[in-house]
Amino acid sequence: MKRILLSMTALLVGLTVMAQPKIPRSAAEDTEKIMSAKYWEYWNDEAQARIDADIEKNRKGDATFQVGKIKGGTQVHVEQITSDFGFGASAFNWDQLGKKEYNDIYKNTFGTLFNRATVAFYWRELELEEGHKRFLAEERDTEEWWNNCKEPHQQPHWRRPPTEPVIDWCEARGMQIHGHPLVWGHMTIQQPAWIRDGFSKEERDWLNANDKIGTTAPQHRSNEFNAMSTDELAQRLPEYQQKLDERLFGNARDIVNRYDGRIHSWDVVNECYLDYRDRAWVPGAKFTKTPRYGLMPGDYVYRSFDLVNKLNKSGAKLNINETQSDSKKKNADIYSGAIKHLLERGAKIDMIGIQMHLMRKHRNAELIAQGKPIWTPEKAYYVLDKLAENKLPMCMSEITITSPGSDHRGEMIQSIVAVNLYRLWFSYPNMTAITWWNLVDDCGYKGEPTISGIYTRDMKPKIVYYALNNLINKEWRTNLMVKPNGKGEIAWRGFKGKYRITWVDKAGVTHTEEYHLK
């Protein structure tokens, strides 16, 4: 606890110097009292010491470098310029924020605070009109169009920019680029509005009557539908079954073929572990009758990984992605079991994505501040350890930490929760990346909290922005002056990543070289 309180106090001092208006002039504010005593019982000195030790062990390495004879009295400057660990965010509001200055701040966050971006490939908005994929920017995607849009939230492509401009920006800055998602069953977020067009009226009418689009619970489907097996449904809907297969896997094929070599990792399948729980994955079946999504192609999770693996000539990491938002142990057990099942069948899975969205009333930051056992260290380690049994790298693929309020106290709670969780995730040996989901307040998906960003809606940095910047660009960056030994060699221990090494030789000539500490 002392470790995190000192960190937050230092942050407040820095913010006071920067004259941020929301921060009290006095650095004597007792950050401990912002959170309850019960909260600090979980995030106590012992927990903080374990995190510190694991960061030292898992995120750092020892390095040596030969510089030869140097000018007397000088030292070698060892400066880390990139991190191997991925610090990211979703890049879903590209040019959509209403003012150029807002958009510029948003874009520049990618490449300064963050070295990783999640690019939207949601099929529904990527292909608003069948046969026309929005890879390239059109008039409706321009900054000018959005600046003149009175109700941006109501537009069908809100939070869904064209892919090419975002990827171009990230490539120019050497960022990690993550594509999300290729396959997902959600009827109103992922699948296009036209998905039930283009086959016989008889089948379409029966399907619409018995499996109402836009619902995700079996009770909203007819008794007849619920009673039918997947074979019976395939006999009843042969044309739809064929079209669904062709369209869903064809979409994934189009995307991977276009961006192979430019995308470093893919969420191949999103949010599917309930299908495993309900034994909906049946090899050879024509349909998967999912508990959340109705009908999907037969055995679609395994087949998706098989397809993308065959197309993946560049070796991009293939991820599975799932929500663990309240860290219930049974959810981690099911998810881990689903991954094990797929691996045993020969699925090529490279990464396990874990979501954590603290945004519902029964699992939000206010309750955490009160000391409710939500994403405590014990529960966080259980989830990570359970998934690590599959012996794969992991990433926190989507995280939301909502301010309980827009006042100073609310922002401080958001920051303290974020700092503790980021530190724990960063320390874990299998972890490779952490991705903040909604960067800007009031820019999430409909129904999501309006104050879960690191920026306010008018692009003012919140306390959590400075807290993350302090971790990512200061605490977790190595910057040293090192004296060579008698053999002209320098040695140091630092965070893993690329370094710029600068020294002046005996003749007074300045040298600069790069070194990658892995």
In tens, the pLDDT along 458-505 reads 999 999 999 999 999 999 999 999 999 999 999 999 999 999 999 999
What is the pLDDT at residue 1? 59
What is the pLDDT at residue 32? 73
Share of the chain above pLDDT 70, in %: 92
| Residue ranges of domains in the chain | 29-57+88-196+258-285+295-473, 60-77+480-517
121 close to 177: Cβ distance less than 8 angstroms? no
What is the pLDDT at residue 21? 36
Structure tokens at 465: 């922005």
What is the pLDDT at residue 143? 97
What is the pLDDT at residue 292? 83
Residue 421: CA count within 13 A, CB half-sphere = 30
194 backbone dihedrals φ, ψ, rounded to 5° = -90, 10
Gyration radius (Cα) of the chain, Å? 25
What is the pLDDT at residue 23? 38
Structure tokens at 95: 């040019």
* Angle at the Cα of 446 from the Cα atoms of 240 and 98, rounded to 5 degrees: 115
Which residues of the chain register pLDDT less than 70? 1-31, 213-219, 325-327, 361-362
Please give the biggest Cα pair distance in the chain: 87
What is the pLDDT at residue 447? 86
What is the pLDDT at residue 294? 85
Question: DSSP strand E in 127-212: where?
Answer: 176-180
CATH level 2 (architecture), domain 29-57+88-196+258-285+295-473: Alpha-Beta Barrel (3.20)
- DSSP codes joined into one string, 421-440: HHHHHHHSTTEEEEEES--B
